[in-house]
Amino acid sequence: MLELVLTLLRLAGIEHGYFRLAEFLTFRIIMAAITSLTLSLTLGHRVIVWLYRQRFRDAGGEFRSIDTHSKRGTPTGGGILILLAVVTAVALWGRLDNAYLLAVSAAFVYFGLVGWFDDAQKVRFKSALFGLGQMAKTVLQLGFIVPFGFWLVSDLSPLPSAMRSQLLVPFVKTPLGDPGRMVFAVFAMLVFFSVVNAVNITDGLDGLVTGPAVTTALLYGAFAYVLGNAVLSHYLLFAMLPGAGEMAVFAAALAGGLLGFLWFNAYPAEVFMGDTGSLAIGGGLASMALLTRQEMLFPIVGGIFVANIAASLVQEKIGMRIGRRLVLRAPLHHGQTERGIAEPKVVIRFWIIAFFLMLIAGLSLKLR
């Protein structure tokens, strides 16, 4: 918004001094992170108190040996703080006429609202087992994912026509192939749906999601910046995506908002992000992955998310059918706590893995 205002002032011949810095993308990226982080830290306590007064408190659930009783009564739905911080920062420092930025922001907000409704249902019925049903949640998710998939390959997409349906593989210079727009649209929908639910299922321990979410956001933000820059994209042998750099503003805002939220969500958590936060994060990451055309990189940089949902699917779809436990406990983080490892140690170890995976994925910028 500020960038557009300054552009209008410049066209009108009005000098604006130091505010001219807002014309530079790198400055706006940094300011988006600072703004989001500051808002999360300053508004955090107020949001927690508001959630508590609204009786928006975690009700737990009966998950056999998984201890949820100790967490009952903690305010939930704290993802609303992340939403407020990120949206405000993006509105201030992003170009609101940029299709890339509008798309990732829309995904972030839409899935955050779906999560808020789910959290409200859980609070209403006083149990984590009585949120939105799986079918209802799937329908609401597909309500955004399906149009997004078709938009991605349509002539309305900001992506260059030649790239709308190409399969791009990390560490490989040339596209794997072009299956056609309709096939790729379906593929994009599957990727989006999987990423959103992988992030959602990983939100099971205090502060756990923050580590891999921040590293994933930063990596895709770096890709967005490179792809939107003519010099860098040419040097690193990537096809340029004009305007894609604005997604780096969103990525920085998301990272800042998450770190600010972690101040209150670190063990022992004062507030949970709930589905409001986890679904919003998933929507933002999924849309960035697809719009940077680096969706194939997600299994690496988002390896924590992928491993968690893979373990859950293996146990649910195969283990339950054959009557055997194929993993100690799904998702994987609960398996670690069941082994007797302290929750904070499990979280820190997962963060370390996430950071390592980000570095490996980052190599694909140059090693191609």
Query: What pLDDT does residue 155 have?
Result: 94
pLDDT in tens, 230-279: 999 999 999 999 999 999 999 999 999 999 999 999 999 999 999 999 99
Tokens of 135: 């079918």
**98 band by pLDDT with thresholds 50, 70 and 90:** very high
- Residues 143-166, mean pLDDT to the nearest whole number: 96
All structural domains of the chain with their residue ranges:
27-365
**56 band by pLDDT with thresholds 50, 70 and 90:** confident
Give the residue carrying structure tokens 């990189």.
297
Provide, rounded to the nearest whole percent, the portion of the chain with pLDDT above 90: 71
> DSSP character for 318?
I
- Checking if the pLDDT of 14 tops 70, the result is no
Positions of E strands within the chain: none
Tokens of 163: 């790239």
Give the angle 333-38-202 at the CA atoms, nearest 5°.
Answer: 15
pTM above 0.85, yes or no: yes
Q: Which of 7-21, 78-92, 245-259 shows the lowest mean pLDDT across its residues? A: 7-21
Query: What pLDDT does residue 5 have?
Result: 62
Of residues 19 and 315, more confidence is placed in 315
Taking the C-alpha atoms of residue 313 and residue 305, their distance in angstroms, rounded to an integer, is: 12
**Could you give the C-alpha distances from 138 to 135, 196, 201, 239, 288, in angstroms and in order?**
5, 11, 14, 34, 21
Taking the C-alpha atoms of residue 170 and residue 148, their distance in angstroms, rounded to an integer, is: 23
**69 band by pLDDT with thresholds 50, 70 and 90:** low
- Checking if the pLDDT of 365 tops 90, the result is yes
Is the omega angle on the peptide bond into residue 268 within 30 degrees of 0, that is, cis?
A: yes
